[in-house]
Structure 1
Amino acid sequence: MTLVARLRKAFSAPVSCDSRRKADRGFLVFENTSEVIQAEKTLKKHGWTVRVMGPPPEIQRGCDLVIEFPLIERLEIARLLSESGLEPLETVPVTGPLLQPVDLFQQVDYGDYLMVRAANMKICVEKCSQIIVNISGGGCPDVPYLAAMLVGRRLTEVPSPREIGHTLCGYALHLAYEEMLRQCSPS
């Protein structure tokens, strides 16, 4: 089916509650990862619920990440980001089936070990001791350093990858680390 045919089919379908919810979201598209990280930090600091996602291929402009946000807050968010010197390249409403974000997370249980992947980075922990046994993925220059700083140490006793990494890989590893902390915390 051609792109035009898929778009016609998608926009001629009846509007469901699920598609209305999708229309309530938008993406902030930035030039580079550091802008995404700064914008996320600024928005969360000011109380907005936002989520960093992998961009759908249709809107990827150079950065491997976008910020998903409540579209109704578009003007306030744009004002805050502008005041902070963080202008997105584009603000895209999520209105069609082709504009679905890519889920960054995957979790795999290997019995005694748990692995969490965020984007291209993976962290693996021995469940009983919470010792980090492996860091892998990515191709950024700080990955070997991150692995050296984290592997062999208890999950709760290592520095945050965001504090010691400075690339997209470091950011993705931080997301995997945060998810691993959630998975390993006592319920």
Structure 2
Amino acid sequence: MLFRSKKRTEDPGAGEASGLFLFDQVPDALWAERVLKSAGYEYALVAPPHHLRAGCDLAVAIPRVEHVGAERLLRDAGVPVRGWVDDPGSAAQPTELVTTVDFGGHLMVRAGNMKITVDKDTLVIVNTSGGGCPDIPYLNIELVGKRLDEVPRPKTLGYTLCGLMLDRAYEEACALLGVQPA
């Protein structure tokens, strides 16, 4: 199969109902992710269904039974949450962030709108593309033509949602090619 969607084993609530925390700003979603991770919560950073997007294309999914405690934790940490969607049955499913395409000698990994393409034999990054954020040209210069196992993580170089999504693609490419991320 040429196109494949990665099934994330760490997604919250495998077989359990989940809900979404929604945010107005990308940094708020990333802040929530860090707070929940440090407290040991089971979570997934996802793209919310299109009809729920309002400025930020990231949401945090957690099991519904964890909602109250996680909301209290985020509030106490000062994370601004726009809202909570408790009924995924009436909402569209969160969009899968990571997909892959195997072109034989090259592997392309897409996360959100960002893509990274790697030569599978040499591990050289041959292309990055997507997004419209201002740090994309810089990320491209820093990554293309260099080995996957020798470059810094895109999230350490970029400052936007595009940089974060490129980091997700980088992380998945590393996992699929047996490379330890930087």
Choose from 154, 164, 173 the match for 1:161. Answer: 154
Runs of 4+ in 1 over 2 A off after TM superposition: 20-23
2:85 counterpart (71, 82, 92): 92
Q: CA deviation at 1:61?
A: 2.0
Amino acid at match of 1:120: N
3-state secondary structure, aligned to 1:91: strand
Find the aligned partners of 1:99 and 1:178 in 2 and give their Cα distance. Answer: 26
Deviation at 1:23, TM superposition (A): 6.6
The answer for unaligned runs of 5 or more in structure 2 is 1-12
The number of aligned residues is 167
TM (norm. structure 1) is 0.84
Match of 1:36 in 2: 29
- Decide which of 93, 103, 107 is 2:96's aligned counterpart: 103
2:149 match: secondary structure: helix
Deviation, 1:62, is: 1.6
Distance 1:94 1:22 in 2: 15
Query: Secondary structure of 2:91's match?
Result: coil
Q: Which runs of 5+ in 1 are unaligned?
A: 1-19
Alignment map for 1:134-149 (pairs within 5 Å): 134-149=127-142
CA distance in 2, matches of 1:24, 1:125: 36
Contact 1:94 1:100 in 2 (8 A): no
Q: Which has the higher helix share?
A: 1
Give TM-score, length-normalised by structure 2. 0.86
Larger radius of gyration: 1
What percentage of residue pairs aligned between the two structures are identical? 42
Aligned mates of 1:49, 1:128 — CA distance in 2: 35
- After alignment, is 44-53 or 132-141 more displaced? 44-53
With over 3 angstroms needed to count, the CA separation of the structure-2 counterparts of 1:21 and 1:183, relative to structure 1, is closer
Match of residue 130 from structure 1: 123
The two structures, once aligned, show a CA RMSD in angstroms of 1.7
- Residue 46 of structure 1, aligned match among 22, 36, 39: 39
